[in-house]
Amino acid sequence: FSIVSSIMSQAEVKHGRKPNRRNMQSVYIAPTSEQKGPEIKLSFDETAEYDDAEAHNREIKCLNYTVKQAGRLLSLLGFSESDRYSHLEVSDINGMTVGFDILYVWFDNVPRVFYLKISEEFKYDGCWTPTYKGNQIYPLQVRTPQSSIIISGYFLENSEKSSESKKTYILLKYDYAGKLILNSRKYDHQKFSDFALNDKEELLLVVPKAKEENEIISQICKLTPDFSRKVFYFSLGHDNAKYIPQFILADGPGQRSWAALKKVPTGVNENSEDQEQGITYRLLSFHSSSPFLDHPERRQENLSPEEKTTMYLEAVNKQSWNMNPFLPGELVMLDENILAIDQIQRNLVQVSWTTKDSSPTRKILSKPGEPIYKHICSDRNSCAYLITDKGDLQVFKFNKLSTITEDED
């Protein structure tokens, strides 16, 4: 990795049947020499009928967690054959997030955010069309901090060069009444692949392609809550490989921020998933808040460029681990653990880490393909919410057990 200290730059601101008892197995797999990853702890329920999710409120109880079937998402949203959204399928779901008592859901190429009221068994609670200067916004990512709703999305504009509309990408903040508070500058491409907010509502942004000294390189940066300043950023990559950040989590284990990366050796297609070509999947952990990072202008007047870089390296304190063969997808926090969906196997994985650990521990919580998970979000403290490829909405909770052991018959 390389790190670059950032001069504070101004950005444009405008504003029921119970399951039978099952045998729980825990299997430990040591990493191979090729894998070079941390120890994997594989735990799964041998006989759970994951594919039978028709019954509302059915629960699957394992030793260390419980999964409750809440229903089929499209049915909960009330789409009918006569509805304008009747054509939507599970594959069209773009993401979901939770805020207060609402589960927010959005779809590809639909300028709406749909609401499900969690405390009323996910009752449909309406939808909202976010706008910017009269243009409908198509959400790509939605986050719901305490005081606002933040959307990364695009709107359609008439193109001067063709008869087709062009997509203009933008980051926007709304209050909970749907009023636009402020927005970022506009881009002709999707600038951010993911973003997260810390407890101060500061934005951590994943920028897969940024220009830096005539070179295209990946970055992670932090903005102030009003989008007005880039507080700091660091660049990812070196001469022998390209690091492609995909997902990010703020305020994760160890009071650090986490990002899912793909490391691609120079000369290898960045869209390839062939690990035999040297591609590795990594988790990056770093500090995103400190007196030095949050107020760099106060400490840089008498520092040389080398000293500034050294201080940034110490402040950010990056750590990175090879997670092969696990390719982390969306990252969420639950009960001091990271939950993520493996983008290859599409199963649910738990990642645990403390400041005393040399590397994270992974537990595979579901067998590959049973079910196939598509999206995940959480309220950080009690529940995670999952969508399967069949459209089942599941509620995931950790059971209050301190350790996982093997059941005896």
pLDDT in tens, 56-91: 556 777 778 899 999 999 999 988 666 788 889 999
Residue 38's pLDDT is: 38
Residue 36's pLDDT is: 37
Residue 408's pLDDT is: 41
> What residues in the chain have per-residue pLDDT under 70?
1-58, 80-82, 210-216, 239, 296-301, 369, 401-409
Residue 97's pLDDT is: 96
Residue 301's pLDDT is: 64
Residue 215's pLDDT is: 63
Residue 12's pLDDT is: 32
For residue 221, the cross-strand partners are: 205, 233
Strand-strand pairing, 373-378 and 384-388: antiparallel
Per the document, the length of the chain is 409
Place of tokens 């903005």: 223
